[in-house]
Amino acid sequence: MHEKVLKAVPFVNWLNGMKKTKLNLNEVFVQSVDMFGPKVGFIKFKTVVTDVDGDSRPVVVFMRGGSVAILVVLVCKGKEYGVLVRQDSVPTTQPLFPAIPAGMLDGNGNFGGVAAKELEEETGIKIHASELVDLIELAYPDGKYEGMYVSVGGTDEFIRLYYVRKEVSEEVLKDLEGKETGLAAENEKIVLKVMPLENLWSYTSDSKTLSALCLYQNLKKMAKII
């Protein structure tokens, strides 16, 4: 099992990242591993690091790697609408919790391809990866950040945020509202919600949704996106 952990992409990336810091990595104790079929899914481990002052501290890490999320902006008669996927959230005990479409990366580094695939699976909206606008790349062109970090004190998880804009008819909006989607093979049960983009922030407290909206609005003010 430890051999699989050492070869897992998120763990390899983390080790390489640690080498670039001024922290000394003293030990890593793997506490649990969740497998997704033959692949390593989640890793929980405890590590001890020493800082530049010689002080050591234990840190517990929940490692799950990166994911992608897409802010979908549909334009109908000049007005912008957002699309949310609603599904039961067991960790938060929130029924039909609303958020923008998202999914985990598969380790091949193809962020845009995964985003387009997840969008189709969760909403039925088909796009080509080339239609996606990388909000993270536009906001942080120096490449310092891989995405929006969820909780830097306990997990490596980052979410690459994308945006796509499409002109649609009133009929398309009506068809999407309340539509039931999701992959049956993965027991996904999703209900879509379409609403004016200006109201999206008040409908959900989901961090990736709010972060994507923030980047979208500010990049738009800077004329970096349409």
Same domain, yes or no: 173 and 190:
yes
Say which residue the tokens 């699989």 belong to: 4
For the chain, first and last CA: distance in Å? 48
3-state helix, strand, coil in the chain (%, to 5): 30, 40, 30
Residue 123 pLDDT: 92
Domain boundary among 33, 63, 93: 63
Residue 108 pLDDT: 60
Within a domain: 13: yes
Same domain, yes or no: 118 and 216:
yes
Same domain, yes or no: 81 and 39:
no
Same domain, yes or no: 107 and 122:
yes
The DSSP element (H or E) to which 148 belongs, if any, is strand 148-149
Residue 1 pLDDT: 61
Same domain, yes or no: 134 and 49:
no
Same domain, yes or no: 127 and 98:
yes
Domain boundary among 16, 43, 63: 63
DSSP string covering 2-50:
HHHHHH-HHHHHHHHHHHTSS-EEEEEEEEEEEEETTEEEEEEEEEEEE
Helix (H, G, I), strand (E, B) or coil at 225: coil
Nearest to 62 by CA among 34, 90, 39: 34
Same domain, yes or no: 99 and 191:
yes
Domain boundary among 36, 63, 90: 63
The number of domains in the chain is 2
Within a domain: 226: no
Residue 188 pLDDT: 80
Same domain, yes or no: 46 and 70:
no
- 39 exposed, middle or buried (CB, 10 Å; 0-12, 13-18, 19+)? exposed
Same domain, yes or no: 143 and 50:
no
Within a domain: 116: yes
Domain that holds residue 139: 66-221
Same domain, yes or no: 97 and 192:
yes
Same domain, yes or no: 73 and 117:
yes
Residue 152 pLDDT: 94
Residue 179 pLDDT: 94
Q: Which residues of the chain have pLDDT under 50?
A: none
| CATH number for the domain harbouring residue 213 | 3.90.79.10
Percent of residues, the chain, with pLDDT higher than 70: 97
Same domain, yes or no: 112 and 22:
no
